Structure 1
Amino acid sequence: MARETSGVMLGSIELFCAAAELESFTAAATQAGITPAAVSRAIGRLEERLAVPLFVRSTRRMRLTDAGRAYHAQCRQALAQIVEAERELTGRQAEAAGLIRVSAPTTFGHSVLLPLLPAFRRRYPKVSIEVQVSNRNVDFTEDSFDLAIRARTPPDSGLVARQLLDAELVVAGAPSYLRKAGKPKTLQDLAAHECIQFLLPRTGQKVPWEFRDDGRDVQVETDGHYTVTDDVLATLTLARAGAGLVQTHRYLMEQDLADGTLVEVLQRFGGRSRPFSLLYTGTRHMPLRVRLFIDFLVEQSQRLQLEGLGALTRRRR
């Protein structure tokens, strides 16, 4: 029987799948522990072999061609079958064990990550999990973390980023505050309101409020006499007490909106969201327990996104 593939080509297919899923040759290279040029050459050899372009490349972005999307779906399935075959032969899946250290912000940690952990340990009972719930950006090398979840990816981190959830932003205030100050009807009205501020841990700068105005994404610099550091959930506590308006993720305040503790305002300027991403160093020889945990978080986050993030709040209460 003629040999139709090779170890070199199989490696190129793995790099192609990584580049397709991460939408970046650089991220795929970081994950594989090689240079972006090596990824480009490998995919170039693959395109030459197939005689079709797999990616449309530009200076600003990279995307799959129609042929690339079809090929990726088949390759992903084939690679998954190979991994499963190896696990059945070697029993590696049953050997997932050891400690996973993960850092998550307070919002995602309390509402999403922590409630999911028991289900993961039911699958892999030999795995232990240490969670740092903090908005501080961790140093993967010095702090020895395997994974971090953040609402913002450090621009020069060199880390692999996998999006987990895209969480809608809303503005709300307590009825007692709105009776006193009135409801803002335009973005300009925010200048006359107490807007509860949150400072970014890394920069110490105020987080700008984000809106969509006539189809355009806009940021508004707001001000107020209350400033919160470290814990975003504290801004909600202040808002419930009537201190002013707050902008945060809808899923965090959905129960407050449903029972009238908070009232949403400026709905016609809504539609903005902020993604939560899973960050890791992407070392080539990643421990099985960490790889399985990444797959689990991505799978569960996609399910939650489809169900609607408000289900999280309803299940907790």
Structure 2
Amino acid sequence: MSIDARLLSGVTVLATVVEQGSFTRAAALLGLSPSGVSRAISRLETRMAVRLIARSTRALRLTAEGSRLYELAAPHLAAIEEAATAASRDAAEVAGLLRASVAVAFSRQILTAKLPEFAQRFPALELHISQHSDAGDLNADGLDVAVRFGDQPSSSMISRRLLETRVLTVASPRYLAAHGRPSHPSDLAGHNCLQFLDPQNGRPFEWEFQRAGETISVSTAGNLTLSDAGTLVGACVAGSGIAQVLALSVGDELRSGLLVDLFPDWPGETFPLYIIRPSRRFTPLKVEKFVDFCLEIAQTAQ
């Protein structure tokens, strides 16, 4: 069997450009310069005598011939990668650099205590943990994987649910002493309610309460709007107002009495936590192992 290596290389570059959406991102993934990617596409177009990508200063798009080539070639490229992965997986070492963006609450309450175990399992792996916006793009941010709260919008990402955490309505004893304790969610209309921005749409989250099949929405208002969960908790502890927070993020404050759960009889509202990764044809072993580890420790934490 004879394989034209240059043709295969060119088609691989084209597929990477399509999946990454730009020459620059494709170049970073392939270890080439953007001009090197452009030249590879030009050589492929010359070889095939057709224009594959219509370039402009604002964007790039596939021509009809380019779309047809990608549609037909992509499954075969995936099969080649899968075959290579299957042949080497058993002997592979989990090594290299893994860049992960992890929600602060999950990092502090669950992941941090398990990091020594992760390092012991995979001593050749270097793990970089950061916090990015829950609405950020993994490829643009140079990330391999992310742990994010909230339902994930449809995209080229692959997501798996790690856990569900309760949504609590809390206040500090200082605030309650000054303003009284609401006895029902509808009483919140008379209180200063701290607003928290949804990173997916930039608008404050709506306040909802659920129990035994009953669901009510409550319109709230306040003099402070925040986008950082840690600042929200800190402001609430300081007595700035009432807040809706995730149970996972305020366990210590509840146990110590710094915050009070105002409506324990409305326990039904929950918020999901997902781990997501780019839907590349080939998922590096280091990413698979980190995803598996997070799924494992999330299950034991519930």
- Please give the range of the TM-score, normalised by the shorter of the 2 chains: 0.5 to 0.7
Asked if 2 retains the 8 angstrom alpha-carbon contact of 1:106 and 1:134, the reply is: no
Aligned pairs for 1:166-177 (under 5 A) are 166-177=164-175
CA-to-aligned-CA distance 1:282-305 (integer Å, 9 cap, x gap): 323211111111111111111111
Larger radius of gyration: 2
CA-to-aligned-CA distance 1:48-95 (integer Å, 9 cap, x gap): xxxxxxxxxxxxxxxxxxxxxxxxxxxxxxxxxxx8x986xx432xx1
Runs of 4+ more than 4 Å apart: none
2:159 pairs with one of 158, 161, 178: 161
1:255 pairs with one of 234, 252, 255: 252
Residue ranges of structure 1 left out of the alignment (5+ in a row): 1-33, 39-82, 306-317
Deviating more after overlay: 204-213 vs 120-129? 204-213
Partner of 1:13: none
Partner of 2:127: 129
In the alignment, the residues of structure 1 paired with residue 104 and residue 147 of structure 2 have an alpha-carbon distance, to the nearest angstrom, of: 10
Partner of 1:79: none
Asked if 2 retains the 8 angstrom alpha-carbon contact of 1:103 and 1:138, the reply is: no
In the alignment, the residues of structure 2 paired with residue 153 and residue 251 of structure 1 have an alpha-carbon distance, to the nearest angstrom, of: 17
1:298 pairs with one of 288, 295, 298: 295
Change (3 A) 1:278 1:218: farther
Structure 2 counterpart SS, 1:141: coil
* TM-score normalised by the chain length of structure 1: 0.64
AA in 2 matched with 1:303: T
1:179 pairs with one of 160, 172, 177: 177
In the alignment, the residues of structure 2 paired with residue 150 and residue 210 of structure 1 have an alpha-carbon distance, to the nearest angstrom, of: 21
In the alignment, the residues of structure 1 paired with residue 139 and residue 105 of structure 2 have an alpha-carbon distance, to the nearest angstrom, of: 24
Shift of 1:183: 1.0
Asked if 2 retains the 8 angstrom alpha-carbon contact of 1:99 and 1:128, the reply is: yes
Shift of 1:144: 2.3
1:228 pairs with one of 223, 226, 229: 226
Asked if 2 retains the 8 angstrom alpha-carbon contact of 1:174 and 1:263, the reply is: yes
1:280 partnered with 2:277: yes
AA in 2 matched with 1:107: A
Partner of 1:189: 187
Asked if 2 retains the 8 angstrom alpha-carbon contact of 1:138 and 1:148, the reply is: no
In the alignment, the residues of structure 2 paired with residue 190 and residue 153 of structure 1 have an alpha-carbon distance, to the nearest angstrom, of: 26
CA-to-aligned-CA distance 1:152-172 (integer Å, 9 cap, x gap): 233232321111111111111
CA-to-aligned-CA distance 1:192-225 (integer Å, 9 cap, x gap): 0111111123422001223115522333332111
Asked if 2 retains the 8 angstrom alpha-carbon contact of 1:99 and 1:130, the reply is: yes
Partner of 2:118: 120
Aligned pairs for 1:212-223 (under 5 A) are 212-213=210-211, 215-223=213-221
Residue ranges of structure 2 left out of the alignment (5+ in a row): 1-70, 76-85
Asked if 1 retains the 8 angstrom alpha-carbon contact of 2:160 and 2:274, the reply is: yes
CA-to-aligned-CA distance 1:205-255 (integer Å, 9 cap, x gap): 0012231155223333321111112x2011111111111111112232222
AA in 2 matched with 1:131: I
1:243 pairs with one of 219, 240, 244: 240
Asked if 2 retains the 8 angstrom alpha-carbon contact of 1:153 and 1:161, the reply is: no
AA in 1 matched with 2:225: T
Change (3 A) 1:197 1:117: same
Asked if 2 retains the 8 angstrom alpha-carbon contact of 1:167 and 1:250, the reply is: yes
Q: How many residues align?
A: 221
* TM-score normalised by the chain length of structure 2: 0.67
Change (3 A) 1:263 1:98: same
